């Protein structure tokens, strides 16, 4: 949880497509997002390589991009920083700012 909101942190597998939204930490790709559907705020569940929202059927891929249903945008990125091997949520570090500079 971060500021009362659920957080999704997914370490992507080699089968998952890379995305400009990926956080690259120690050469591994991660999705770090707020776990609230961008339609009306339900909490999607991870099922078969997607987050699926039970409220109105919205779906998000492993990068948090909206791929089906009513959600109007991807899952919101969560500011983060990495110090040594610790992930710090809510602090804008260089990797988070790199994602913001290239995201589409
Ligand atoms: Fe998730 Fe409507 S709240 S699809």
What domain range includes position 77? 7-101
Closest approach atom of ligand 1 to CA 69? 4
Specify if 2 maps to a domain: no
Q: For ligand 1, atom 3, which residue shows the shortest CA distance? A: 40
pLDDT digits (tens, 9 = 90+) for 48-73: 999 999 999 999 999 999 999 999 99
29 in a domain, yes or no? yes
In angstroms, the CA 87 to CA 56 distance is 32
From 43, 53, 60, 67, give the residue whose CB has the most ligand 1 atoms within 8 Å, as the site to mutate: 53
Is residue 1 one of the residues assigned to a domain?
A: no
Query: Consecutive sets of 10 residues in the chain, 104 residues long: mean pLDDT of each?
Result: 96 95 95 98 96 98 98 97 94 96 75
Query: Is 41 among the domain residues?
Result: yes
Find out whether the beta carbon of 35 lies less than 6 Å from any atom of ligand 1: no
72 CA to middle of ligand 1, Å?
10
Regarding pTM above 0.85, the answer is yes
Residue 50's CATH number: 2.102.10.10
67 domain residue, yes or no: yes
Whose tokens are 């589409």? That residue is 104
What is the number of domains present in the chain?
Answer: 1
């Amino acid at each position: 949880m971060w500021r009362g909101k659920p957080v999704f942190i997914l370490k992507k597998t080699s089968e998952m497509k890379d995305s400009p939204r990926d956080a690259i930490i120690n050469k591994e790709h991660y999705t770090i997002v707020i776990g609230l559907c961008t339609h009306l705020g339900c909490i999607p569940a991870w099922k078969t390589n997607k987050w699926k929202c039970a409220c109105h059927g919205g779906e998000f891929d492993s990068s948090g991009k909206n791929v089906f249903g009513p959600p109007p945008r991807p899952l919101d990125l969560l500011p983060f920083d990495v110090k040594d091997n610790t992930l710090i949520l809510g602090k804008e570090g260089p990797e988070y700012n790199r994602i913001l500079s290239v995201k589409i």
